[in-house]
Amino acid sequence: MNIAYIFPGQGSQVTGMGKSFYENSKNAKELLESASDFCKIDFKHLLFEENEQLNKSEYTQPAIVLNSLMAYTALMEQKSDLKAIFSLGHSLGEFSALAVNGALEFLQTLVLVNKRGLFMQEDCSKLEAGMMVVLGLEDQIVENICKKAQGESKKIFAANYNCDGQIVVAGLKSDLISYENEFKKAGAKRVMLLNMSVASHCPLLENASLKLCIELEKILKPNFKAVISNANAKIYTDKEQALKLLKSQLISPVLYKQSIKNYENEIDCFVEFGSNILKGLNKKISPKETYSLTNFSDIDEFLKVIK
């Protein structure tokens, strides 16, 4: 069976995530404990107990990546010979994909995304930035409205192409709010401001992107297994490509649905680690099955299917 691994991004965090892997997988437990020591973050508290930090970007990002890596580690503990044709992630999830495909060490990845969250927050802290989901419009219509807004000196950009009829736009919160009715007048079924204090995947994160690349230069491996880029929806496999594409990643829209469509014919199914959010999107994009591993019992069920 030809498999693709997929990894969720920010917004997939929930209290208690990863606990099942921690309690049932020796290697996943060791990973969390090593991560706590290495990153100087109490991940047991962060992931398993109610706390305010889980929704702060610098903690949200390593928490989500760790949860995904624990799910992957638990699966490998059960079936170490299971290989993916390629891997991809949604936004932050691209770093999980890089880690499992050998581009980054696991613990260094967690430190990196902790810094990524800080850099993003620093860029947006004085701007009152935000993100807004637009449902029920074609891509071109959303893009045209964003261009119109930019022509009026407003900061509104297409940020995430999640599936047909679902695009997230990013920019200054006041500009987004001022354009809600423009999207509705164009026929949007719903327009909703998201609970986010950063404007991901748009030019407002130029400084964060530059700082992130400095960190990436230090730790990226020369070559690795196939990862699909959010920035151009194509496969890359080496450090030179990675630095260019990941520099673009924070300031360019996430081409998630394009990535799935570009490569769905090469695989039999997708496996999502740590969440079922991408499974929901994939149902609207591709006829290929997606299996979500959100707890240890999901691994058992998945392994029965592929035997």
Q: Which residues are catalytic?
A: 91, 201
> By the 8 A CB rule, do 180 and 203 touch?
no
> By the 8 A CB rule, do 46 and 63 touch?
yes
Give CA–CA dist 57/120, Å, rounded: 8
Residue type for 54, please? Answer: L
Paired tokens of 297? 């019992």
Angle between helices 106-124 and 57-78 (to 10 degrees): 160
Phi and psi of 152, rounded to 5°? -100, 20
Strand partners, 254: 160
Judged on CB neighbours under 10 Å (0-12, 13-18, 19+), 201 is buried
In 173-245 the beta strands, taken as DSSP E runs, fall at 190-193, 223-228, 235-238
How many residues would you count in the chain? 307
Is the backbone of residue 201 left (phi > 0), alpha (psi -120 to 50) or beta? left
